[in-house]
A = this chain, B = another copy of it.
Amino acid sequence: MAESQTSQDVVHPHPYVPRDLNLPGYIPCFLSQSNILSIYASFTISVFAVTWIFSGRLKKTTVDRLLIFWWAFTGLTHFILEGYFAFTPEFYKDNTGFYLAEVWKEYSKGDSRYAARDAGVVTVEGLTAVLEGPASLLAVYAIATGKPYSYILQFAVSLGQLYGTAVYFITAILEGDNFSTNSFYYYAYYIGANFSWIVIPSIISIRCWRKIVAAVQVQNQTKKTKVR
């Protein structure tokens, strides 16, 4: 099996589409798909458990507790997983079985622009990692401590996520939408894995918009009352 060969001297054909994509030094995945996914699932469950216990002690509402989980989860994903990709152009050459490299080798089956270092993908992932990663973790702190900038910060990060996802999908369509090894990877990785980052930021930005508009209305009414 090619997977068991680790020597750099052996030329491994890559599994990605388009087939003529040139990836000299490519080393196949060491971990299976189920291993990679179960590690990410374990990470998600751990983040949920830690944030749920933590937010329970702070006596937060259920909505705030779910938001604290989301911002911790998405912030760590942006910072660690996407940060690794953005600053590691040669992850596909990794021959140590390092988990973060394995994730991107596997995800590239859904979108080979990751292995191919497409400028649009690297830009979106870089902005997500550097700006939205830390900002998401700041949102955890802002919700936990009830900061007045909590809504506008969550709105800003959600809008950034939505803009990034829009750039990600639209550039793919314009470039021919031919980056998936097969339709399973297309729907499971390219569509499925990004779906949460369309739905959840949409819900959060609508909620924050409403909360902010309500606050401005209260302020306007307070001013009017004072004028009277």
**Could you list which residues of chain A lie within 8 angstroms of chain B, going by C-beta atoms?**
119-120, 122-124, 126-127, 146, 148-152, 155-156, 159-160, 163-164, 166-167, 170-171, 174-175, 209, 211-220, 222
Q: How far is the CA of A5 from the CA of B170 in the complex (A)?
A: 37
Kindly name the residue among A119, A151, A174, A175 whose own CB sees the greatest number of chain B CB atoms within 10 A. Answer: A119
Is the Cβ of A127 less than 8 Å from the Cβ of B216?
no
Interface centre among A152, A155, A159 (most CB of B within 10 A): A152
Contacts of A150 in B (CB 8 A): 216
Task: Write 21 A-B pairs (CB below 8 A) sorted by A numbering.
Answer: A120-B120, A120-B171, A123-B170, A123-B171, A127-B170, A148-B216, A148-B217, A149-B216, A150-B216, A151-B216, A152-B212, A155-B156, A156-B159, A159-B163, A160-B163, A167-B167, A211-B216, A212-B215, A214-B219, A215-B218, A222-B222
Considering the complex, give the chain B residue whose CB is closest to the CB of A152. Answer: B212
Cβ of A8 to closest chain B Cβ, rounded Å: 26
Cα separation A133 to B126 with both chains bound (whole Å): 26
Contacts A120-B171, A122-B174: A152 and B218 contacting too (C-beta < 8 A)? no
A188 CB, min distance to chain B CBs, angstroms: 24
For A123, A124, A174, A175, the residue with the greatest tally of chain B CB atoms inside 10 Å of its CB is A123
CB A4 to nearest CB in B, in angstroms, measures: 35
A77 to chain B, nearest CB (A): 19
Give CA–CA (A152, B222) in the complex, Å: 19
Q: How distant is the Cα of A126 from the Cα of B166 in the complex, in angstroms? A: 11
A119's partner among B156, B175, B211, B212 (CB-CB below 8 A) is B175
Considering the chains assembled together, what is the distance between the CA atoms of A119 and B211 in angstroms?
Answer: 36
A216 and B222 form a contact (CB under 8 A): no
Tell whether A152 pairs with B149 under 8 Å between CB atoms, given A122-B174, A170-B123, A216-B212: no
Q: Which of B127, B156, B175 contacts A167 (CB 8 A)?
A: B127
Residues of B within 8 A of A160 (CB): 159, 163
Cα–Cα, bound, A170→B213 (Å): 34
Residues of B close to A159: CB separation below 8 A: 156, 159-160, 163
Distance in Å: Cβ of A225 to nearest Cβ of chain B: 10
